[in-house]
Structure 1
Amino acid sequence: MQRSKENRTVRRQQNAKLINEAKAALGTTDIGTQCSLIETLGANNDELLKINAQLEDSVSDEDFAYEIETVLRYEDATRGMLGQLKANEAELLRAPRVLATQPAEPERGSQYGGGEAVHRSAVKLLTLQLQTFNVNICVLRVSTVIESTERLVKGFWDLESIGIIDHTGGPNEEAEAIAGQFERNIRMKNGRYEVALPWKENSEQICDHRSQALKRLKSLGKRIQRTPEFVAEYESTMRSYIDMSYAERVTPEE
């Protein structure tokens, strides 16, 4: 504990010394010295704060108020000086730089001077220390998808909507059999092609799905009714199917 107190005393003395040096540096344009003081004073003050935190529990109740006042006095003086140094540093960095010139050594026996001294001026470039800044750039990308009415209507007729999904694998015996049946049975009749349905051999009899099909049709109708544009497009498409004999009207019994 005693060593910590001695360390605190040394750190406080160092803070006071650095603050006096900083006051003297404020009247100059030496950016390098001021940057060094900012770094050194800040590091010493951070160590002093750590020591104060370690010794806080050991301070008696009688000395607590005095000790807190002393800590705050050193802290305020240090923070105030650091603020002045940083402000002065920023002002010096913003100030315009004046390039200093100095005469060069005269050249003897120059072909332009005919043996006389020729005075030349040289420009001395000042070095400027630049501070680096860490910047995070956030990029927001927004994609817009515009679907045409034709594409939306086509989606209602997609086979996936009724549970039929195209086979995406390689060729198999069933696919080859269907293709062979198609080639054997397709024929032209009254200007139209006809082909037999590819019924599976020895397949089980399935029940009547009329009620399920009607339920799906009504559900599809409700979805279309929500958008007037879809209703008009749907009716126009169905009328064109009937006009081209792709579809026909049926009675409720059928």
Structure 2
Amino acid sequence: MRPVRERPRAGYATEFADEYDRWFGKPRTTGATVEALVSLAALSGGGQVLELGVGTGRIALPLRERGLSVHGIDGSEDMVRQLRAKPSGADLPVTMGDFADVPVTGRFTLVYLAGGTFGELADQESQSRCFERVAQRLEPGGLFALDAHVPEALAAATGPDIVSEGDDHLVLCYRRLDPSVRRYHSHYVIHADGRTRHLRVDFRYTGPGELDLMARRAGLRLKERWADWSGAPFTRDSAAQVSVYERP
């Protein structure tokens, strides 16, 4: 094992952008997410769609293939470069910037985040600002959908998870919570190309109650809550949540 210096959050999208889809883009989860968002887009009127943290286009490009008009926001040029290299990726409009500020003009009938991206916002202030800016960009009747871990399930989890594995690589993740600042640290151990690397990525976790409060303060109301993008019921045993908010 060749030790390496732990990298800050800014290096995550830079170093692993070219492997992101292979390691994290699980086809079944991606497919369920796309189907759910297609249904939500139809429910909200079928207008313009915005993804916060569009990254490599894992979700946005399949949505465009389904006939939706999708715009993206992202802060990583390396991730967007992967998007541009994909078929039709050069045609997807992307605004570079902090998605907490939602730095775009116009109105949207659906705004969404997927893959736990909301937790990348470092504090309650930036997360609340994201809700407020989304509400300003939504059409009346528009929807805001996002997924997140359930904090209690994070706290109860033990041992590492296998994120991805194959003949040529193994990616493990161990999460450690810090309740004093409502953050969790995801430690990734990545063995690929004959060497083993360690990367720590920090997230801020939010429970259903805190998300609902942010939404209400932004003028949004809860419409749906599922256990995952397949639409499974959210129960006391759910480890994750998908919350859908509506602008009245």
Q: Report the TM range for the smaller structure's normalisation.
A: under 0.3
More strand by share: 2
Normalised TM-score (structure 2):
0.20
More helix by share: 1
Instruction: Work out which of the two has the higher radius of gyration on C-alpha atoms and give 1 or 2.
Output: 1
Normalised TM-score (structure 1):
0.19
Return the structure number with greater relative CO, CA threshold 8 A, min gap 6: 2
